[in-house]
Amino acid sequence: MKITVLYNKPAARFTPHAKNMEAEEDTEESAEEVAAALRTKGAAVRLIPITEDTISETVAALPDDLIFNLIEWTGTDAKYAAQTYDLLNARHAIYTGATKESYFLSCDKVAMKKRLDAEGFPTAPWQEFITGDEMIRTDLPFPVIVKVSLEHSSVGLSAAAIINAPEKLRAFVKKQIAAFHQPVLAEQFLTGREFQVTLLETQRGLTVLPPAEVIYTKGTNVPFLTYESRWNADHPDFQNSTVELAVLSDRLSKDLESMCRGVFTTMGYRDYARFDIRSLGEKPMFLEVNSNPGLSDDEQYGMTVSYKASGMTFADFVWEIVQSALRRNTR
């Protein structure tokens, strides 16, 4: 089988001062891992990078292979992802993972929250800020966490993103809008357990793999995944968590499976997805719904914990994604 692994290089906006570059370079590392894994399954693999300046020519020159799509442009670069999807769809390319529509639900936190609310799926109370001058909801529960709407990989998240009182919220919101040139949202900070749930379409149908749990191990006041804890090896919060197989009650296991199946099906996800969930007391709520999550054989990655608990290797897992895409295009 011939497979093209398509991935994006970091956008030009990251190069002047290399800000947030670690998270952006992760895409290329993931693409190399996926390509190597597919080769162990006997596939003939082409690894093809794409940049914001080469979208049209790169897509036009793609061979008629199955495309393993690892495009991850987000933030103000999401327009490049839109252009790539439009060109792939125009040539009727067969590609894995997210559609254009489900991709943009995943990389736009405001759109995601609106859709979750509209469909009746549990998520924390929230408010969008476009200018920072908006009236703060009187029913917004504090503390809140402030997130940049269009970024990924914890970009914009630090200890300062936890706000304990309304009078402190406006200044921080305005600071983030000015820094990232996009809307932000504030949502209730959920203090309970945190799960990463991976779903995979197999020959047996949609499968919810055993959920992983994020366990915060360092004695810090930031029990969530900040940019520094994930990417900055010199920061005291670096690697402030581990990921383990979740130990769940029957009720919680059923709740997680039901809500994740519902979102995957309702929002038109394909092949695989990873959903990030936190609890408020005993009630799990969606934090993020990722339709084209990064792939890696990293032991501290929830998806890795989950597919290994299911008896799969990394190569088995990515091969299942390929098979799902092929089945979808032969019906």
| Structural domain ending residue among the three candidates 188, 208, 235 | 188
Q: Is residue 100 part of a domain?
A: no
Q: Is residue 103 assigned to a domain?
A: no
| Residues 145 and 266 occupy one common structural domain | no
Domain termination site, one of 188, 214, 240 = 188
**116 found inside a domain:** no
Q: Are residues 70 and 130 in the same domain?
A: no
pTM for this prediction: 0.90
The pLDDT value recorded for residue 312 is 98
Last residue of a domain, one of 148, 172, 188: 188
Q: What is the pLDDT of residue 191?
A: 85
Residue 285 within any structural domain of the chain:
yes
| Number of domains composing the chain | 3
CATH number at residue 54: 3.40.50
In a domain? residue 112: no
Answer yes or no: is 102 within a domain.
no
Query: Vertex 10, ends 8 and 15: CA angle to 5°?
Result: 160
Query: H-helix or E-strand containing 286?
Result: strand 283-290
- Strand ranges inside 192-263, DSSP E: 194-202, 205-208, 212-216, 241-245
In a domain, 68, yes or no: yes
45 shares its domain with 88 = yes
Domain that holds residue 50: 2-95
In residues, how long is the chain? Answer: 331
318 and 198 in one domain? yes
Q: Which CATH number do you get for residue 167?
A: 3.30.1490.20
Q: What is the pLDDT of residue 222?
A: 62
Residues 159 and 231 in one domain: no
* pLDDT at residue number 128: 97
Same domain, 51 and 132: no
* Domain contains 132: yes
Q: What was the pLDDT predicted at 78?
A: 86
Please check whether residues 234 and 155 belong to one and the same domain. Answer: no
Kindly give, in sequence order, each residue whose CB lies less than 8 Å from that of residue 167, ignoring residues fewer than 6 positions away: none
User: In which residue ranges of the chain is pLDDT below 70?
Assistant: 11-25, 153-154, 156, 218-222, 225-240, 331
